[in-house]
Amino acid sequence: MRSTTSLSPRAAVALGLILIAAGLALVLLAVGLVPGAGSSDAAPRWVVAGAGLMFALCGAAMIVGYAVAGGVGPDGDLPPETPRRVRLIQYLLGLGIIACLAAIATWVAFGPGPRAFTVTLPSLGRGPGDETVGRAVFGFGTVLMWVFLVAFLVVSVQRLRRK
């Protein structure tokens, strides 16, 4: 049974390359090869580079998933006929994306320095949020992301062994 896909291979490559280019621009900005507006109290360079790497990995995953593997199968995974090496690459890209997100959230929640949070509530508007509450919320999310990374790793290994 062939997979169902909502993104053509050509569109996947185009969007993937845009994401990769945007991600690489952030990485180049973080390492100082591209000048950019930023202040000395902004996020550390590794956080900016991690965000760029995440975008680049997302672009690569889009290309691998839709242009190489052919889309998503009925179970939400790659199609059953996807070669093992393509499946492994896709899972490694996913692990990299989750790790980048979790590392950045970890810095927001537990890293040194002050943080500024904004709270937006329906009907009440938008305003400054308490730093302790913001860090606590990010801390909770961070723990969930690291748990998700471990779960993704376990499921990925199981799927690789099964196929």
Reduce the DSSP state of residue 72 to 3 states and report it. strand
The C-alpha angle with vertex 11 and arms to 8 and 13, in degrees rounded to 5, equals 110
Q: Specify the number of domains making up the chain.
A: 1
Distance CA 154, CA 110 (A): 26
Asked if the structure places residue 1 within a domain, the reply is no
Asked if the structure places residue 62 within a domain, the reply is yes
Q: Which domain holds residue 93?
A: 9-162
Partners of 4 in the beta sheet? 72
Would you tell me how many other CB atoms lie within 10 Å of the CB of residue 46?
Answer: 14
Asked if the structure places residue 2 within a domain, the reply is no
Task: Provide the token pair at 107.
Answer: 């810095």
23-78: pLDDT as tens digits: 999 999 999 898 876 555 578 999 999 999 999 999 999 999 999 999 888 788 88
Asked if the structure places residue 4 within a domain, the reply is no
Q: Note the pTM of the prediction, 2 decimals.
A: 0.88
Asked if the structure places residue 22 within a domain, the reply is yes
